[in-house]
Amino acid sequence: MRKKRTPEISKSRISICAPGFSFSKQDFLKGVVWLESMGIQPDFPPELFQKKGRLAGSDTVRAEGLLRSVKESDIILAARGGGGCGRLFPLVKRGMKSLKPFSRTFVGSSDCTFLYLFAQALSPQSFVYAPMVCRYGSGEFKGFEKKTIAEILKGTLEFPLQYPKGFFTEKEGRAIRGKLDGGNLSILVASLGTPYEWSPKGSILYLEDVNEPLYRIDRMLTQLSHAGKFRKIQAVLVGKMLVSGKTIPRRAWRECLMEHFGKIRGPVITQIPTGHGKTQWPFFLGGDYLVDGSITCLKLVALKGFFKKRFKLS
């Protein structure tokens, strides 16, 4: 039986930041309308709609908005992802460090992996790798992803969270229970050699990316392997790797994955509708997952840290 949790979301504040690319104000406001339909009044400053080239304002403006969010709110939603997120670290590290113990929940994906890494450099985090505000008013935002985001924000999420079917098994193996870690593949590689370098804390690897041909994916996996990032990995979850809207040919993709992960104890599953694409299932970096050995189920078993405070047993 699933254990119900008592929501505490009314005691927290939710804010929206724009750490990367600029975005459609119309799409954004549609997302805000959806949030308001659930009784959520998110905070966001007027500077959110600034533009500088492709970015949502200058680095200073975006950094100040991010710091304001983490200082004043418990849950920080990204308006959208896009380049420029990584440039904020020198501007926010001191302000974020002053907030230790750092206990915030970020919701974002793609280049917002940088925000996860920034926070991880301070203390262990639960990061919701999930659709962002500009998607909430879209017709593609529906089903499992919409229901799960609503439950997170309302504080009604229940465990275990069972994921629907909709992925491929590239390798079976032992059932693995462990902490999920990872994010956008390109960003994990870009973090190497930085103060916020990715340091895996779990045994289940989650990866996704978009518009990266197979030879570049192989190069990035090789680099992470050489950096020792896969030593403790026992199971692998991979989103749909789309290139120009098309998935990488499965046979070639499987060969690449088996070269890197063929000897791990647990399963390797791919084509999970997450990260980019028409369907974007939320995943919880820092959450405890159970990946069945024969891939009959994929479950989020529990969340610790800040989520443990937010969702208490009734």
Q: Closest Cα to residue 291, out of 274, 270, 309, 266?
A: 266
CATH number at residue 238: 3.50.30.60
- In the chain, the percentage of residues whose pLDDT exceeds 70 is 91
Residues 177, 90 within the same domain: no
Strands of the chain (E only): list them.
Answer: 5-6, 14-17, 75-78, 105-108, 127-129, 161-162, 168-171, 176-184, 204-208, 235-239, 242-243, 246-247, 268-272, 283-285, 288-291, 298-302, 312-313
Residues 134, 241 within the same domain: no
Residues 174, 151 within the same domain: no
Residue 312 has pLDDT above 70, yes or no: no
Looking at the 3D structure of the chain, how many domains does it have? Answer: 2
Residues 83, 118 within the same domain: yes
Measured between its terminal Cα atoms, the distance across the chain in Å is: 14
CATH number at residue 43: 3.40.50.10740
The predicted pLDDT at position 47 comes to 92
Residues 250, 203 within the same domain: yes
Average pLDDT over residues 43-70: 94
Residues 165, 294 within the same domain: yes
Residues 197, 151 within the same domain: no
Residues 84, 204 within the same domain: no
Query: Containing domain of residue 173, as a range?
Result: 161-302
Residues 264-275 have pLDDT tens digits of: 999 999 999 999
Residues 281, 171 within the same domain: yes
Residues 188, 138 within the same domain: no
Residues 259, 189 within the same domain: yes
Residue 128 has pLDDT above 90, yes or no: yes
Residues 171-180 have pLDDT tens digits of: 999 999 999 9
177 contacts 30 by C-beta, under 8 angstroms = no
Residues 224, 255 within the same domain: yes
- Of the pLDDT bands very low, low, confident and very high (cuts 50, 70, 90), residue 100 is low
Distance separating alpha carbons of residues 283 and 285, to the nearest angstrom? 6
Give the range among 1-10, 95-104, 110-119, 293-302 with minimum mean pLDDT: 1-10
